[in-house]
């Protein structure tokens, strides 16, 4: 059995509290090339690991509180944690990535792939300083679960807290793919599981005249912004899809113009395909003016971050509720087609989603089901007397 590395001046709180307060940490060699560092502060001391020229703080010392093995640690707990962090990838001499750095990398990755940086910027606003500084490799299920519960306690809806949690999971998963020392993926898979109350539908369905008023009001704000909202309203596409459009995607030379909408990168299928969606001649003409002077494969729209914030003045002028966001245009498009009797499979394909999701979220709007024609003749007609045979 391996001998435990002792340190007479660090291994118990009495000895540590006798040390002079200073910025430079006290260190103990706990393995070849690995040091456990203790910084004596005026209040509570902190544990860090020093290895290959980098220093990473990972917890508090049990100077005044009992250790919990996670945020507050004894010398022996800190010793094992330091070894784990330093040795998880002995060929990697880089400092272990923190949660804050993981979010920065996630934001850069989103920008590279044409995704919504807002997912990262919004997440950053809700992270605590303690969580930002924590090494990803040391995250635990309980602290992630407690963090998200704190968001709900602070007033966020479960659905909003769940959405922010998904952004954090994506950032941490990216960090794990880039650093093989990170082996605790179960911490965020289990700690950030979907909240039960987050499944409550938040779909805002708007009448056609309200959609038209929102589009007109958006044009009043800015022509480019109004055209973007116009496309969202008429196609029911997601923001991310519309921001990928290029002039070449506009097919307005046809008698019935179409717009080639790229599929989103949701789910396991990451391959982008294009689906032709019908658009009005009015919108086609506006898009052709927008495309003027742009190369065929340039972006048709300049990126607009946090579209909901830009949309809110229009919503306020129309005296609509704060729950009305640009995404309500997509919900309204789906319901509009369902109420017109468009087959569910066609509605799903048009909106780049699945029949299962349409049935799950919009089932009360689905009409014209083929089974209706089959089952309607079986309805009882109480105005006609039933024979005894029929009654039997």
pLDDT tens string 150-175: 999 998 888 888 989 999 999 999 99
**89 pLDDT above the threshold of 70:** no
Euclidean distance between CA atoms 226 and 203, whole angstroms: 22
Beta strands in 233-347 (DSSP E): 250-251, 258-262, 274-278
379's tokens: 């309805």
Where does CATH 1.10.150 sit in the chain?
A: 99-199
The predicted pLDDT at position 385 comes to 60
- 88-92, 106-110, 162-166, 193-197: which range is least confident on average? 88-92
Q: What is the mean pLDDT of residues 237-254?
A: 90
Mean pLDDT of the chain: 85
**389 pLDDT above the threshold of 50:** no
The predicted pLDDT at position 303 comes to 83
SS3 250: strand
**71 pLDDT above the threshold of 90:** no
Q: For the domain 208-371, what is the CATH superfamily, name and number? A: Intergrase catalytic core (1.10.443.10)
More confident residue, 4 or 176: 176
Q: Are 107 and 94 in contact (CB under 8 A)?
A: no
**200 pLDDT above the threshold of 50:** no
The predicted pLDDT at position 270 comes to 55
Q: Which residue has tokens 């898979």?
A: 189
Q: What is the pLDDT of residues 301-324, one digit of tens each?
A: 988 877 888 999 999 999 998 889
Residue 210's pLDDT band (cuts 50, 70, 90): very high
pTM for the predicted model, two decimal places? 0.59
Q: What is the mean pLDDT of residues 222-241?
A: 94
CA 219 to chain centre: 29
State the DSSP H helix or E strand holding residue 292, giving kind and residue range, or none if neither.
none
The predicted pLDDT at position 88 comes to 59
Residue 368's pLDDT band (cuts 50, 70, 90): low
On whether the 99-199 domain is CATH 1.10.150, my answer is yes
The predicted pLDDT at position 371 comes to 54
Q: Which residue has tokens 């996670």?
A: 70
The predicted pLDDT at position 91 comes to 47
The predicted pLDDT at position 328 comes to 93
State the DSSP H helix or E strand holding residue 200, giving kind and residue range, or none if neither.
none
Give the whole-number percent of the chain exceeding pLDDT 90. 50
The predicted pLDDT at position 369 comes to 52
If you count DSSP H runs as helices and E runs as strands, how many of each does the chain have, helices first? 18, 8
Residue 86's pLDDT band (cuts 50, 70, 90): confident
Q: What is the mean pLDDT of residues 29-48?
A: 90
The predicted pLDDT at position 264 comes to 78
Q: What is the mean pLDDT of residues 274-303?
A: 93
The predicted pLDDT at position 336 comes to 93
Q: What is the mean pLDDT of residues 36-53?
A: 89
CB half-sphere exposure, 248, CA atoms < 13 A: 8
**26 pLDDT above the threshold of 90:** yes
The predicted pLDDT at position 197 comes to 58
- 263-277, 319-333, 365-379: which range is least confident on average? 365-379
Where does CATH 1.10.443.10 sit in the chain?
A: 208-371
Who's near 49: CB < 8 A, 6+ residues apart? 34, 35, 36, 37, 55, 56, 58, 81, 82, 85, 86
The predicted pLDDT at position 201 comes to 47
Spatial CA neighbour of 47 closest among 21, 28, 65: 28
**93 pLDDT above the threshold of 60:** no
**376 pLDDT above the threshold of 90:** no
């Amino acid at each position: 059995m391996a001998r435990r590395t002792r340190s007479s001046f660090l291994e118990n709180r009495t000895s540590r509290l006798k040390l002079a307060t200073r910025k430079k940490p006290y260190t103990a060699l706990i393995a070849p090339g690995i040091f456990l560092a203790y910084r004596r502060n005026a209040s509570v001391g902190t544990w860090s690991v020093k290895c290959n020229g980098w220093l990473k703080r990972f917890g508090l010392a049990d100077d005044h509180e009992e250790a919990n093995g996670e945020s507050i640690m004894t010398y022996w707990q800190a010793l094992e944690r330091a070894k784990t962090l330093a040795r998880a990838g002995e060929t990697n001499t880089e400092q272990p990535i923190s949660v804050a750095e993981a979010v920065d990398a996630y934001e850069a990755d989103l920008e590279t792939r044409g995704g919504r940086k807002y997912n990262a910027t919004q997440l950053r606003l809700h992270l605590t300083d303690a969580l930002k500084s924590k090494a990803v490799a040391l995250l635990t299920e309980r602290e992630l679960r407690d963090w998200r519960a704190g968001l709900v306690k602070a007033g966020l809806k479960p659905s909003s807290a769940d959405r922010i949690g998904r952004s954090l999971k994506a950032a941490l998963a990216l960090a794990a793919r880039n650093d093989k020392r990170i082996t605790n993926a179960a911490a965020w898979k289990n700690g950030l599981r979907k909240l039960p109350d987050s499944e409550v539908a938040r779909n805002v369905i708007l009448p056609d005249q309200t959609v038209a008023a929102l589009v007109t009001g958006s044009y009043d704000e800015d022509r480019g912004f109004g055209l973007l909202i116009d496309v969202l309203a008429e196609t029911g596409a997601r923001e991310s899809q519309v921001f990928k459009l290029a002039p070449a995607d506009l097919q307005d030379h046809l008698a019935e113009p179409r717009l080639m909408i790229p599929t989103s990168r949701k789910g396991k299928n990451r391959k982008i395909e294009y689906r032709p969606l019908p658009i009005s001649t009015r919108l086609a003409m506006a898009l052709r003016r927008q495309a003027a002077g742009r190369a065929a494969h340039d972006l048709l729209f300049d990126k607009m971050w946090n579209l909901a914030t830009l949309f809110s003045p229009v919503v306020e002028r129309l005296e609509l509720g704060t729950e009305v966001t640009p995404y309500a245009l997509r919900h309204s498009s789906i319901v509009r087609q369902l109420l017109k009797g468009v087959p569910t499979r066609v509605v799903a394909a048009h909106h780049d989603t699945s029949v299962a999701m349409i049935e799950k979220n919009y089932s009360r709007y689905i009409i014209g089901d083929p089974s209706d024609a089959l089952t309607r003749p079986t309805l009882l007609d109480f105005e006609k007397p039933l024979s005894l045979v029929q009654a039997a």
